[in-house]
Structure 1
Amino acid sequence: MRWIGLDEAGLGPNLGPLVMTATVWETPLAWWSSTTQAQFPQSLNAASNTFWASQSSAITQTTSRDETRLHIADSKAVYSTSRGLGSLAASVHGLLHVWHAGTDSPCKNLPASIRDLVDLVEQSSPAKHQTSEIIEPWFADLKAISLPGQPLTPVQESAISNWLNVCHEAQIELTAIHSRVVMTPEFNRRVKSTGNKSTAVSEVAFELMQQAVQQVLAIDPAAPILLLSDQHGGRKNYEALLANYFPDVWWKTLPASGEGRYYLAENILASFAPRSESYLPVAAASLICKYLRECCMHAFNRWWLQQLPQIQPTQGYPQDARRFRAEIVEYCQKHQLEEDLWWRCK
């Protein structure tokens, strides 16, 4: 059984990229109980509980001061500016090691720089960013910037090693990580093309879903797939988007469960539900998204500190972004850095 979990980071800021990630996992089919379609949400939750339980000796959804397991959960629970990047970086490196250990993994070398990481997770994306195509000067030399949050502590390294053993024993593989780092110029083009932010973001999400599903089916056309995503803003219906991005299959709308929306097409069950980070593949995607965005903001702030040594770093969220904008606008005008290059239109 394949699980595809999708999440994003950076939807609300005015500065920096929007990042989306899909993680693809293979687990025993026996975890899925045979039920009627009306009971699929309950079966999904039961399989998710089994997934977490199978990993409980190596990873935890909560953490404590003396915890020796990796913290795998919604990125908001793992990372905060007060705690720093250490725990988030360790969790993401754990995921990269699990991916690297896969039988046919394309992850042959673990990344050392931000450029290496972006290239690795975007390698199968049709919109992969080549260095020469990046026109934002703060992202032009990512190869020279080491991954923040390093080095790992001995406890974190031991936890990663333990997780590899647990995955092997439970017959679990992380088979793919697909990410899209949507830089500001592309974000603005998409919003202007579609007319609104919500549609533009859904386009990126469904392009990523389509890519992940196609890769799975190319290897095993009969593979049962659980496609898991949080809801896209206030969107309640996904039939039109599913039909557009998966035109070769017929989607059946299943009974809603709470706020969740569920759809079935042959061997694919698609779930769009609030708090989907409760599913391990979505939590993993959340962590990778957040770390990628933090890496990009690290590079962004590093470049601006070189130009304006007195400027305070920013995470790009609206209130502080307006402060940062006021401090750089004169420099940008002087050096012909158009606002559309660095400031999101929505």
Structure 2
Amino acid sequence: MLVYAGIDEAGYGPMFGPLCVGASVMVLENYDPSQGEPDLWEILGDAICKKRSDRRKRIAVNDSKKLKSSSTPKGLKHLERGVLSFLSTTGQATPKVDSEFFDAIHGTLKQNPWTTLQTNLPLAVDPDSLLIDIACLARDLLKSNVRCDLLLCKAIDVEDYNSRTNLASKATLNFATAMQLVESIATKFPTEHPRIMIDRHGGRIRYRQDLQQAWPEAKIQILVENNEMSRYRLDIDGRKVTMTFASKSDEKHMPVALASMVAKFTRELHMLRFNKYFATLVPDIKPTAGYVQDGRRFLKEIEPILAENNLARKSLIRNS
């Protein structure tokens, strides 16, 4: 058996909205881990592909930046199609509203005025087409003796982000959040020795010290540290985990691509709530994705109504 997981983030650089770090866990029942990492795009090739446009109408699974086609809700079609299809094969009911999705992946933010206006799902995909996608994916997973066991997302709101980055860098926060997901995976699979793939953080090569800080009592073996990858085997209270950091992991490892989609879709749904709220206060305001250049435009337009609505800047605007 191989427990094959990926972790990736969305929203690392914006001035508005949460930092989201996603994880996906695939289980290959009959796969020998000594064979290395499998190509799930090939194994599940009847149901998934990397392309947004596919004549066989397979589900696109790729780096989330390659799948979002526009800044409108309809531009989320490929993210939504992939994430909801895989989520629905884990045993979770297909969510009908975004709050059900957040509950399913543990991606709920704490309540603020701008986090309360729900969005119905599916948002951009035809519901009947989604049912067909889910059935096709489930059939291919079953045929291949593979299952999508878990989708998770840690969503860090702006106030928490600001308080934590006042004490350490946002790179440190991103890494610590990814390690929380590793801990969740290791806890769920204490005897299965998960293999977890993560995109390189800041292009660094050496991670042993940071891993030791995350798990002070763990035994850590350096397997590889070179320009291509950094790989470590951890023994955490008897739970074994092999963790690999490599550049462009979302192009090489399907679970990382799926994790990036989960993180991005989660953030986009939270930003929909954010934009809906401010549209009730500032008529005709153009929605923002939260990134700096357009975020400055958005801040200028909402600035006059912040004080009168008791909206604290530290809860809305990132400090770095």
Q: Deviations over 1:153-201 (max 9, x none)?
A: 644432321110110111111112221111111111110122x221122
Are 1:303 and 2:277 matched, yes or no? yes
- Report the counterpart of residue 96 of structure 1 in structure 2: 87
- Report the counterpart of residue 66 of structure 1 in structure 2: 55
Q: 1:247 to 1:265 in 2, by over 3 A?
A: same
Q: Is the CA contact 1:68–1:155 (under 8 Å) kept in the aligned structure 2?
A: no
Moved more, 146-155 or 70-79: 146-155
Match of 1:261, SS? strand
Match of 2:105 among 101, 104, 121: 121
Are 1:165 and 2:139 matched, yes or no? yes
Deviation at 1:29, TM superposition (A): 5.0
Are 1:272 and 2:245 matched, yes or no? yes
Q: 1:22 to 1:65 in 2, by over 3 A?
A: closer
Opposite residue 202 of structure 1, the aligned amino acid is F
Residue pairs, 1:47-66, within 5 angstroms: 47-49=37-39, 51-64=40-53, 66=55
Q: Deviations over 1:279-319 (max 9, x none)?
A: 11111111111111110111111111111112111000110
In 2, distance between residues paired with 1:292 and 1:152? 19
Q: 1:231 to 1:202 in 2, by over 3 A?
A: same
Match of 1:90, SS? helix
In 2, distance between residues paired with 1:148 and 1:98? 16
Residue pairs, 1:121-200, within 5 angstroms: 121-122=105-106, 129=109, 133-134=110-111, 136-142=112-118, 145-147=119-121, 149-152=123-126, 154-194=128-168, 196-200=169-173
In 2, distance between residues paired with 1:307 and 1:148? 26
Moved more, 291-300 or 259-268: 259-268
Opposite residue 21 of structure 1, the aligned amino acid is G
In 2, distance between residues paired with 1:22 and 1:268? 15
Count of residue pairs the alignment pairs up? 312
- Report the counterpart of residue 241 of structure 1 in structure 2: 210
Match of 1:331, SS? helix
Opposite residue 25 of structure 1, the aligned amino acid is M
Deviation at 1:337, TM superposition (A): 1.1
- Report the counterpart of residue 285 of structure 1 in structure 2: 259
Q: 1:338 to 1:153 in 2, by over 3 A?
A: closer
TM-score normalised over the length of structure 1: 0.84
Are 1:232 and 2:201 matched, yes or no? yes
Opposite residue 198 of structure 1, the aligned amino acid is A
RMSD, aligned α-carbons: 2.0
- Report the counterpart of residue 259 of structure 1 in structure 2: 228
Opposite residue 311 of structure 1, the aligned amino acid is I
Q: Is the CA contact 1:63–1:71 (under 8 Å) kept in the aligned structure 2?
A: yes
Residue pairs, 1:313-328, within 5 angstroms: 313-328=287-302
Are 1:10 and 2:11 matched, yes or no? yes
Structure 1, unaligned stretches of length 5 or more?
34-42, 101-106
Q: Is the CA contact 2:23–2:262 (under 8 Å) kept in the aligned structure 1?
A: no
Match of 1:251, SS? strand
Opposite residue 179 of structure 1, the aligned amino acid is C
Percent identical among aligned pairs is: 26
Deviation at 1:151, TM superposition (A): 4.3
Match of 2:145, SS? coil
In 1, distance between residues paired with 2:220 and 2:140? 36
Q: 1:161 to 1:257 in 2, by over 3 A?
A: farther
Q: Is the CA contact 1:70–1:160 (under 8 Å) kept in the aligned structure 2?
A: no
In 2, distance between residues paired with 1:182 and 1:65? 35
Opposite residue 48 of structure 1, the aligned amino acid is P
Q: Is the CA contact 1:210–1:246 (under 8 Å) kept in the aligned structure 2?
A: no
Deviation at 1:63, TM superposition (A): 3.6
Match of 2:294, SS? helix
Q: Is the CA contact 2:223–2:233 (under 8 Å) kept in the aligned structure 1?
A: yes
